[in-house]
Amino acid sequence: MLRLLFWIALIAAAVWLWRKFKAPASGANSPREQDAPPMVRCAHCGVHLPRDRALKLEQQWYCSQAHLEQGPGSSDR
């Protein structure tokens, strides 16, 4: 019985060590939140889009030229 417990503990420790050292490698391939571009909200329709694709007029952002020309939408959102 003691040998069986020894082998179970040894296998559990090996699995734990394998997962511990394997985890950082798989986390490096996933996209990080800091790499995401800053998002802004269209003042007309409320759609969120990357700031580098948005159009700015004064202190407001717009998703397209048409919405920029129409101005801010209704404030019932």
Q: Identify the pLDDT of residue 48.
A: 95
Helix (H) or strand (E) segment spanning residue 24: helix 2-29
Global confidence as pTM? 0.53
State the maximum Cα–Cα separation within the chain, in Å, rounded to a whole number.
80
Amino acid at 69: E
Condensed to tens digits (0 to 9), the pLDDT of residues 18-74 reads 998 886 655 555 566 678 889 999 999 999 999 999 999 999 999 999 999 998 877
Q: What pLDDT, on the 0 to 100 scale, is given for residue 36?
A: 82
Tokens of 45: 């329709």
The pLDDT score that the predictor gives to residue 14 is 95
